[in-house]
Chains A and B, each alone.
Chain A
Amino acid sequence: DTEVTQTPKHLVMGMTNKKSLKCEQHMGHRAMYWYKQKAKKPPELMFVYSYEKLSINESVPSRFSPECPNSSLLNLHLHALQPEDSALYLCASSQGNIGRGVEQYFGPGTRLTVT
C-alpha cells in the first residue's frame, strides 16, 4: 500500500470558521509534510514532521496549526483564514530524509475555498 489519503476532498469555509484537514498513511513512514499549492504554481512547503515532532515550519501564519497525533496521522487545523488562503493543500510522506533520495508520496489534496 503506497497510498496517502486526505479528507475532505473539498472544503468551503468562511473566514470565521474553524476546520481541520486530515491526512493518513499506513506505510510506516516517519516523515510527513503539508504543502500549499496555488493554481498553476508549484507546491510550497508549509510544515514537516519527523518522528511525530515538528521539524520544519516555513514561517507559516499561526492561523494554520499542524498536529501529528501519531505516526500515521497528520492534521492541519484552520482558523480565521483569509480568501488568499484558498488553494490545494497537499499532504505527503516519506520513509526518511528525502535529502537522501527516498521516495516522497503525495496525497490527492484537499481543495480549500475561503469565502
Chain B
Amino acid sequence: KNQVEQSPQSLIILEGKNCTLQCNYTVSPFSNLRWYKQDTGRGPVSLTIMTFSENTKSNGRYTATLDADTKQSSLHITASQLSDSASYICVVSGAGEYGNKLVFGAGTILRVKS
C-alpha cells in the first residue's frame, strides 16, 4: 500500500532554533516528493519539489533532502521564526498510473514560540 509517514506529529521550538522534520514513504513507482507548508485554515503552499535524481533542494531557510534508496526525506528549517508555525506536509507523487495523484502524509505541526 502506498503510504507516507511523517515524524514527529508535533514539535515546539524556540524562535531562532533549527529543526528537522522527517518523512518516510513506500510509494512505488516514485516520481517526486514535495514539502508543503499549510497555515491553519489556508491552502498548502509549496516549499520544494524533488525528483528521483535530486538529493537536496533549498528554498530560503528551508532545505529538503531526499534519499530515494531508503525512501526517506527530511525538511530542515534554520533560524526559525514565529511565522514558521504551521503544518508541514510531505507529499509523494507516484509515476505511471498514479498520474495526477498525490499521497499525502499526515503532517507535522510546528509551533515556534518566543
The segment from A59-67, A75-83, A96-104 found at the interface with B is A96-104
Q: Contact between B43 and A31 (Cβ–Cβ < 8 Å)?
A: no
Nearest chain-A residue to B33 (Cβ)? A101
Q: Is B104 an interface residue (CB 8 A)?
A: yes
> Please, what's the 1-or-0 string for B72-90, where 1 marks a CB less than 8 Å from any CB in chain A?
0000000000000000010
B102–A98 CB distance below 8 A: yes
Q: Which residue of A lies closest to B49 (CB)?
A: A101
B1 in contact (CB, < 8 A) = no
In the docked arrangement, what's the CA distance between A104 and B47, Å?
11
**Known interface pairs A45-B102, A99-B99; A106-B31 also in contact (CB < 8 Å):** no
For the complex, is B51 an interface residue (Cβ under 8 Å from A)?
yes
Taking CB atoms and an 8 Å cut-off, the chain B residues in 90-114 that contact chain A are 93-96, 98-102, 104-107, 109
Cα–Cα, bound, A4→B41 (Å): 15
Give chain A interface residues in 30-72, CB to chain B under 8 Å. 31, 33, 40-45, 48, 50, 55-56
Known pairs A101-B31, A101-B49, A109-B42; A48 contacts B100 (CB<8 A): yes
Within 8 A of A (CB), among B11-68: 31-32, 34, 41-46, 49, 51
Pick the 9 closest A-B CB pairs, nearest first. Answer: A106-B43, A42-B104, A101-B32, A99-B31, A48-B100, A106-B44, A99-B99, A101-B51, A108-B43
Residues of B in contact with A (beta carbons under 8 Å apart)? 31-32, 34, 41-46, 49, 51, 89, 93-96, 98-102, 104-107, 109
